[in-house]
Amino acid sequence: MLLHIPGVFSQEDVATIRTALEQAEWADGKATAGYQSAKAKHNLQLAEDHPLARQIGEAMLQRLWSNPLFMSAALPHKVFPPLFNCYTGGGSFDFHIDNAIRQVRNSAERVRTDISSTLFFSDPASYDGGELVIEDTYGTQRVKFAAGDLVLYPATSLHKVEPVTRGTRLAAFFWTQSLVRDDGQRRLLFDMDQAIQHLTRDVPEHPALIQLTGNYHNLLRRWADL
């Protein structure tokens, strides 16, 4: 499932974050890539323990944890702390699949990467190229969302970032270990949850809501991986 989650950050917040990121010291992005990915990765990245990365990352996760769309789609159990990248001057990241397990820096915590997410901080009109290209069951998806918006997609997907030929593309990315490992099961639960929310809004007294909600939780109980 590929999902667009708009407005995680307001335009005012995005402008403040972008200014801070533009003034930060960036390092070679290969430092956090696996052996195969490092050969395809040509970008810059904030150090994992950079204070600015922690500050923005914590603010981002606070917003996502209160975002009903993200919670419904991701069913998060663990999250790898957000990382931040910069593509400019032809920077790109060729086709790859994300590592299955990520170890949190300076911690014994490990996160299974069920879901990948990218949050954009640059106005799409301010740079050329830089599309996130995702190969999924519905074909090739090309993503270049507004600043402040997030895209969520299965970490099992083959994906790349096209070369940025003008301007600068700033973004955050992170991985979620979901309560439900299987993407197809998550999609069924997401669709059911969205239907429950719409029925609750439109026909709140309908007796089928109790049965439908019960079925949702029984499926989640059956599929949850704790």
- The pLDDT, as a whole number, for residue 40 is 76
- The pLDDT, as a whole number, for residue 84 is 97
Strand partners, 41: 93
Give the residue numbers of the binding site.
96, 98, 159, 169
Q: What is the pLDDT of residues 122-131, one digit of tens each?
A: 999 999 999 9
Q: What is the pLDDT along the chain (226 residues), one digit of tens a residue?
A: 999 999 999 999 999 999 999 999 999 887 666 556 667 788 999 999 999 999 999 999 999 999 999 999 999 999 999 999 999 999 999 999 999 999 998 899 999 999 999 999 999 999 999 999 999 877 899 999 999 999 999 999 999 999 999 999 999 999 999 999 999 999 999 999 999 999 999 999 999 999 999 999 999 999 999 8
- The pLDDT, as a whole number, for residue 32 is 65
Strand partners, 173: 83, 118
Q: What is the pTM of this model?
A: 0.93
Nearest to 41 by CA among 100, 85, 82: 85
Query: How many secondary structure helices (H) and strands (E) does the chain include?
Result: 6, 17
- The pLDDT, as a whole number, for residue 38 is 62
Give the residue numbers of the binding site for 2-oxoglutarate.
169
Distance CA 72, CA 131 (A): 26
Give the residue numbers of the binding site for Fe cation.
96, 98, 159
Cβ(10)–Cβ(148) under 8 Å? Answer: yes
**Three-class SS state of 73:** helix
Distance CA 146, CA 138 (A): 22
Measured in whole angstroms, the distance separating CA 64 from the mean position of its chain's CA atoms is 10
